[in-house]
């Protein structure tokens, strides 16, 4: 009787097929782990970083920014936020396993190694920096500051009583960079916008920190939710009010009218809804309020675009 193909050639097609499937599954699992390291499965962080950057891109471009600059800042926001998340997980490896919300992160579970995370963070940072090279010397210098802020934020939680303010500066540093890229300078207006973003970040990240407060107290991590204590809800609302006040003042400096202020009013209504969500300090409500801040940023940007459209200034330049 003739021997089988497997016996004759020493090759088993079925085993090779199964081995190929296993390799594909390993690759898929690795890519999924990298996606989670970069938080691409949770885009809220990208959006919270992107909205103030877009405010600055359109204001510094007088309602008509360069499409190249706009796309560089959008893509750079995605890349640097992703790099920041990887850096954060590297810094917090020893803590994340002790916190209910973070104990399934890839570096904690072993789905990705520390070496892989370091390479990923480096690649994302280099990719982001390569974009900035197009934008001029001042923007390049500011990007170095932005990188230092992003890399140091995870460690600020060890010693700084209000790390959410540090986060606000880090998340908002695209604002002065946008002004530098389009005007060649950073006006006082850019720093006022950055201040508004700091107040906003303290507000929404305090809502986020309220979810983790018990775990943070136990492991010794500092946060605004711990600092504000029983006044946390009112501190959030006070920071919202301060943010809107600064943005209202910016609007008066730019002679903005009805549409811009309608955007601020819409944001204020959303913030009032956040009060309803967080007033009992329940984890689900606080986390929902945090996620809902995406719509606050969107409402302000919509008002800004409508204001420029009403003046016939809205557009995107091809250069």
Domains and CATH numbers, the chain: 36-310 (1.10.357.140)
DSSP state of 104: T
**How far is it, in rounded angstroms, from Cα 107 to Cα 118?**
11
Q: State the chain's maximal CA–CA distance in angstroms.
A: 94
pLDDT of residue 92: 80
- The model's pLDDT over 207-237, given as tens digits with 9 standing for 90+, comes to 988 887 766 666 667 777 788 888 889 999 9
- Helix 44-60, helix 188-219: angle, nearest 10: 170
Low-confidence ranges of the chain (pLDDT < 70): 1-23, 214-220, 314-319
Closest listed residue to residue 259, CA positions, set 203, 302, 313: 302
**How far is it, in rounded angstroms, from Cα 69 to Cα 58?**
10
pLDDT of residue 2: 43
Which tokens is 179 given? 């002004």
Closest listed residue to residue 247, CA positions, set 185, 210, 200: 200
Residues contacting 179, CB < 8 A, separation 6+: 56, 60, 185, 186, 187, 189, 190
**How far is it, in rounded angstroms, from Cα 117 to Cα 292?**
29
Beta bridge pairs of residue 317: 66
pLDDT of residue 1: 45
Rounded CA Rg of the chain? 23
């Amino acid at each position: 009787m003739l021997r089988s193909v497997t016996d004759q050639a020493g090759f088993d097609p079925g085993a090779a097929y199964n081995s190929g499937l296993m390799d594909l599954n390993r690759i898929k699992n690795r890519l999924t782990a990298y996606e989670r390291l970069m938080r691409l499965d949770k885009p809220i962080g990208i959006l919270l970083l992107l909205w103030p950057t877009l405010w600055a891109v359109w204001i510094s471009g007088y309602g008509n920014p360069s499409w190249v600059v706009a796309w560089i800042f959008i893509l750079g926001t995605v890349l640097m936020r992703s790099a920041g998340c990887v850096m954060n997980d590297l810094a917090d490896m020893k803590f994340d396993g002790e916190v209910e919300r973070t104990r399934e992160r890839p570096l904690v579970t072993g789905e990705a190694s520390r070496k892989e995370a370091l390479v990923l963070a480096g690649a994302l940072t280099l990719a982001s920096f390569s974009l900035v090279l197009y934008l001029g010397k001042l923007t390049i210098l500011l990007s170095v500051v932005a990188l230092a802020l992003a890399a140091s934020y995870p460690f600020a939680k060890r010693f700084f009583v209000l790390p959410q303010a540090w986060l606000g500066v880090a998340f908002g540093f695209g604002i002065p960079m946008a002004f530098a890229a389009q005007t060649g300078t950073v006006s006082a207006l850019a720093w006022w916008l950055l201040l508004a973003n700091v107040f906003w970040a303290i507000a929404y990240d305090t809502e986020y920190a309220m979810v983790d407060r018990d775990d943070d107290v136990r492991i010794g991590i500092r946060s605004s939710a711990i600092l504000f204590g029983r006044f946390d809800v009112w501190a959030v609302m006070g920071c919202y009010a301060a943010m809107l006040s600064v943005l209202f003042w910016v609007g008066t400096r730019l002679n903005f009218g009805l549409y811009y202020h309608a955007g601020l009013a819409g944001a204020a209504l959303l913030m009032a809804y956040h009060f309803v969500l967080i007033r009992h300090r329940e984890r689900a409500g606080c986390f929902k309020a945090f996620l809902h801040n995406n719509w606050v940023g969107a409402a302000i940007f919509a008002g800004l675009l409508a204001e420029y459209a009403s003046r016939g200034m809205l557009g995107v330049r091809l250069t």
